[in-house]
Amino acid sequence: MSNQTKANIVKAAPSRWLVFCILTLSGGIAFKVSSMKDMFYVPMQQFMGLTNTQIGGALSAYGIVQTIGLIFGIYVCDMISKKYMIGGSLIGIGIVGVYISTFPGYWGFLVAFGVLAILGEVTYWPVLLKAIRLLGDEKTQGRMFGFLEMGRGIVDVIVASSALAVFRAMGEGAAALRGGILFLSAITAIAGVLCLIFVPNDEKRVDENGKEINKAKAAFGGMMQALKSVDIWAVSLNGFAVYCVYCGLTYFIPFLNQIYLLPATAVGMYGILNQYGLKMVGGPIGGFMSDKVHKSSAKHIRAGFLVCIVAMIAFLLIPHEALGQSGKWFIGAACTLGFGAIVFTMRAVFFAPMDEVKVPTEITGAAMSLASLVIYLPNAFAYVMYGSFLDNFPGITGFRIVFCVMIAWAVVGLGISTFLIHRIKLHQQQ
């Protein structure tokens, strides 16, 4: 290939920021079909004939398939180019959404959610993280992942609001629910097409003789390398601790309602701020702090754990019941939102240290799959654990136990992040 031809290819390639924007757009859309219950829970019961147990069963099936699938994802995610993995997964999700819009029976609905788990959590999400990592370098990883989180939050709000607008415009009946689901399916498929057009292919890997390496063999080698890597496990367990603390944020909502007597409408507004607002704010702040202040995502996360420990201990000393009875709910709301903002700055960048520990780019897919498996594992036990504390110890006692457990996870995270930083320093000295 001539130098002129190579130059023309470089000129024709889309800018990394255009690719980043398209990937971020897809990241905010990809899980909207699988999370349709957030928008259409009651209509799903009314028009699809689903019970609470059946919807819960589908979500449980999703989680089980996700966990098992990510084990295989450690092998699969580096076999096929990220262009086709991301684009094909999104188009597949759109097709499954069209099937769900036909209002299948419960077993069909259950199978559909299993397929959504494979397409969204196994063949899409780790590969999206791989693509984001490959777009930046060590100095920009924090901002890349931080702005990814912010962008996903913005798209979340726009897409969810648009789907609800379609539902209302069509009369809020069975046809309207079908229309809302088809809207989500269509934009997911469109995002997939955009990714197929603009996301670049993986670079071909060749051996020392210039011969292309067998992808299946390379993927197996990458899987084994990822599983044996102390550094990848350190990054994964660091994110695991962050996520355990993050799961506790959910219980600030009943805390404000029961202890500070916050009205139901205000609790709903708080929930939106807690879920979407903090994601949009915490993402860029976490990225900026990682790259510009701490010069390391791992150091930012360690500082975050330390702040969480101090802040939550101080929070436990506040006389919450007295403040709640005197109507000073804004104190509780401000404190919990402030704590949540700290956690979201950490959550935004917990994949970024992959670059700091020099994970080889050719095994990024396997590394991100393993990290996703470990980091999101608290979904399987944390909510049950926290919820059981509240059920077994009613009132302020249960909440204090939950907050103490969050402190304990932050202490564990502080130790893991310190070990991770030690590993990063070893790589820097090499």
Q: What is the pLDDT of residues 155-167, one digit of tens each?
A: 888 888 888 889 8
Q: Which amino acid is at 158?
A: I
Model confidence at 219: pLDDT above 70: no
Question: Cβ(83)–Cβ(132) under 8 Å?
Answer: no
Quick one: average pLDDT of 20-43? Answer: 87
Give 145 or 101, the one with higher predicted confidence. 101
Model confidence at 309: pLDDT above 90: yes
Q: What per-residue confidence (pLDDT) applies to 186?
A: 97
Q: In angstroms, rounded to a whole number, what is the distance separating the alpha carbons of residues 245 and 262?
A: 23
Q: What per-residue confidence (pLDDT) applies to 8?
A: 44
Model confidence at 345: pLDDT above 70: yes
Q: In angstroms, rounded to a whole number, what is the distance separating the alpha carbons of residues 234 and 232?
A: 5
Distance of CA 205 to the CA centre of its chain: 29
Model confidence at 211: pLDDT above 70: no
Distance of CA 198 to the CA centre of its chain: 23
**Beta carbons within 10 angstroms of residue 303's beta carbon:** 20
Quick one: average pLDDT of 38-45? Answer: 80
Q: Which amino acid is at 155?
A: V
Q: What per-residue confidence (pLDDT) applies to 9?
A: 37
Q: What per-residue confidence (pLDDT) applies to 364?
A: 82
Which residues, 6+ apart, have CB-to-CB distance to 372 below 8 Å?
70, 73, 121, 125, 126, 129
Quick one: average pLDDT of 335-352? Answer: 91
Quick one: average pLDDT of 351-362? Answer: 86
Model confidence at 247: pLDDT above 60: yes
In terms of average pLDDT, the best of 73-77, 201-205, 282-286, 396-400 is 396-400
Question: Cβ(427)–Cβ(357) under 8 Å?
Answer: yes
Lowest mean pLDDT among 76-85, 183-192, 310-319, 343-352: 76-85
> Model pTM?
0.80
Give 210 or 9, the one with higher predicted confidence. 210
**The pair of three-digit structure tokens given for residue 214, joined into one six-digit string:** 């067998």
CA torsion 166-196-25-369 (nearest 10°) is 120
Q: In angstroms, rounded to a whole number, what is the distance separating the alpha carbons of residues 366 and 380?
A: 22
Model confidence at 4: pLDDT above 60: no
Q: What per-residue confidence (pLDDT) applies to 299?
A: 95
Q: In angstroms, rounded to a whole number, what is the distance separating the alpha carbons of residues 254 and 224?
A: 44
Residue 216's pLDDT band (boundaries 50, 70, 90)?
low
Model confidence at 263: pLDDT above 80: no
Give me the helices (H) in 273-395, please. Answer: 278-288, 297-316, 320-325, 329-347, 353-356, 364-375, 382-392
In terms of average pLDDT, the best of 50-54, 262-266, 370-374 is 370-374
Q: For residue range 75-124, what is the model confidence (pLDDT) as tens digits?
A: 877 788 889 999 999 999 999 999 999 999 999 999 999 999 999 988 99
Q: Which amino acid is at 181?
A: I
The Cα-based distances of 394 to 255, 258, 328, 384, 401 in angstroms read 11, 10, 22, 15, 11
Which residues, 6+ apart, have CB-to-CB distance to 248 below 8 Å?
382, 386, 402, 403, 405, 406, 409
Chain position carrying tokens 């009943």: 254
Lowest mean pLDDT among 103-117, 207-221, 238-252: 207-221
Quick one: average pLDDT of 14-41? Answer: 87
Whole-number percent of the chain with pLDDT over 70: 91
Q: What per-residue confidence (pLDDT) applies to 2?
A: 44
Mean of the per-residue pLDDT values for the chain?
Answer: 86
Q: What per-residue confidence (pLDDT) applies to 217?
A: 66
Model confidence at 1: pLDDT above 50: no
Lowest mean pLDDT among 42-56, 158-172, 305-319: 42-56
Chain position carrying tokens 């457990």: 405
Model confidence at 195: pLDDT above 90: yes
Residue 14's pLDDT band (boundaries 50, 70, 90)?
low
Q: For residue range 399-418, what is the model confidence (pLDDT) as tens digits?
A: 999 999 999 999 999 999 99
Chain position carrying tokens 């009369």: 171
Model confidence at 275: pLDDT above 90: no
Q: In angstroms, rounded to a whole number, what is the distance separating the alpha carbons of residues 324 and 329?
A: 6
